Amino acid sequence: MTVTLGLLRSQASTVTLGPLRSPGFDSHIGTAPQSGLRPSGSPARWLVSSVDTATLALLRSPGSEKRGRSSGSIFKRVLERTRKLWSKQDQHTGDRHRLFRAVAEAVPATTVLYPGSFVDIAPSFVWPAVTYVDVDKRANQFFGDIEGVDELLVANEADPLQHTVRFIHGDYDDELDLPAGSFDLLVSLYAGLVSEHCTRYLKVGGHLLVNSSHGDAALASIDPRFELSGVVINGGAHYRARTDELDTYLVPKRDIDITVDLLHETGRGVAYTKSPFAYIFQRVA
Ligand SMILES: C[S@@+](CC[C@H](N)C(=O)[O-])C[C@H]1O[C@@H](n2cnc3c(N)ncnc32)[C@H](O)[C@@H]1O
């Protein structure tokens, strides 16, 4: 598992990295190279992610200069890759930003955990401390590009100095090096049964934002640790959280017995009579 700390910043020039270490941790702490990777104003010491290490290896690879790859051109390519990944993710421009803004209005949160995020960095436009988890190599590369991530934050009016973006390159089914009961909000969108594996990291009193694809909303609906506390409706380009008439949601269209086994078997969501974009559950136990 790799932990990439894209933006670990503080007003001080050194940062505490001890708690971030985990078995199999293959990043290292280093002094930022004199290169385009280090954003101006960032601390002198920072965590060099595995992606950065790979990029540095590319720079050092024999013949890289002969092939015409200056360090500038490699860093430019990294930045272009990040921009491309984001523009694909954000193809409905600003859609996720609007979604998370609406959720933030309904749910108090500072710390957010987003397993199966891929490159959906929009929660960091809204919340100050977000931890992303994904197995995909491209997500690791994306979050490892500190300059590129900074650029996206700034473009979305989030001050990089005020936002901590942490990325864990790994499987959320595995034990993550995160304290139990420490997050205010758990996000589960189109990424499997996140709540089954990651609720342990959510505070009692914290919230789960979940959509019905892959059955995770159905799983939360039968999990005694959760109570439905809201739904997120989308109309056109807008999202709005509602807390009224909650008993009219999560009513299956067909008479079925929703069980954990059924959700594991099908890997699909349950068809309900009403289809909000997502549900908000509160962890009550
Ligand atoms: C369809 S994408 C959704 C991405 C993002 N949540 C969104 O809504 O745009 C699903 C992502 O979940 C990740 N994923 C699925 N199962 C995972 C697991 N067990 N651990 C970590 N990542 C996982 C995949 O690698 C993929 O990037």
Mean pLDDT by groups of 10 residues along the chain of 285 residues: 49 26 28 30 34 45 53 86 97 97 98 98 98 98 96 97 97 97 98 98 98 96 98 94 98 95 95 97 98
Residue of the CA atom closest to atom 25 of ligand 1: 136
Q: Considering only CA atoms, give the Rg of the chain.
A: 20
Q: How many Å separate Cα 180 from the centre of its chain?
A: 17
Alpha carbons 226 and 283: distance in angstroms, whole number: 5
The answer to whether the CB of 166 falls within 8 A of the CB of 17 is no
Looking at residue 92, what DSSP letter applies? S
| Beta pairing partners, 47 | 29
Q: pTM for the whole thing?
A: 0.82
Residue of the CA atom closest to atom 10 of ligand 1: 191
Q: Cα of 256 to ligand 1 centre, how many Å?
A: 28
pLDDT at 4: 53
DSSP H helical ranges for the chain: 50-60, 71-89, 95-106, 137-144, 146-155, 194-198, 216-221, 260-266
Residue of the CA atom closest to atom 8 of ligand 1: 189
Reading the block at residue 210, the tokens are 């979940």
pLDDT at 2: 54
The answer to whether the CB of 203 falls within 8 A of the CB of 48 is no
**135 ligand 1 Cβ < 6 A:** yes
**190 ligand 1 Cβ < 6 A:** yes
Reading the block at residue 244, the tokens are 């009224």
**191 ligand 1 Cβ < 6 A:** yes
**133 ligand 1 Cβ < 6 A:** yes
Stated as kind and residue range, the H or E segment containing 281 is strand 278-283
Q: Cα of 186 to ligand 1 centre, how many Å?
A: 14
| Beta pairing partners, 281 | 208, 228
Say if strands 202-210 and 183-188 run parallel, antiparallel, or are unpaired: parallel
Instruction: Please tell me whether residue 41 adopts helix, strand or coil conformation.
Output: coil
Q: Cα of 255 to ligand 1 centre, how many Å?
A: 30
Atom of ligand 1 nearest to the CA of 116: 12
Alpha carbons 149 and 158: distance in angstroms, whole number: 11
Alpha carbons 181 and 201: distance in angstroms, whole number: 4
Q: Cα of 191 to ligand 1 centre, how many Å?
A: 4
The answer to whether the CB of 156 falls within 8 A of the CB of 125 is yes
Q: Cα of 206 to ligand 1 centre, how many Å?
A: 22
Residue 68 falls in which region: left (phi positive, over 0), alpha (psi -120 to 50) or beta = left
**136 ligand 1 Cβ < 6 A:** yes
Alpha carbons 250 and 217: distance in angstroms, whole number: 9
Please state, in angstroms and as integers, the Cα–Cα distance from residue 160 to each residue in 24, 40, 270, following that order: 28, 11, 39
Q: Cα of 232 to ligand 1 centre, how many Å?
A: 21
pLDDT at 179: 98
Q: Cα of 278 to ligand 1 centre, how many Å?
A: 17
Atom of ligand 1 nearest to the CA of 197: 19
Atom of ligand 1 nearest to the CA of 172: 20
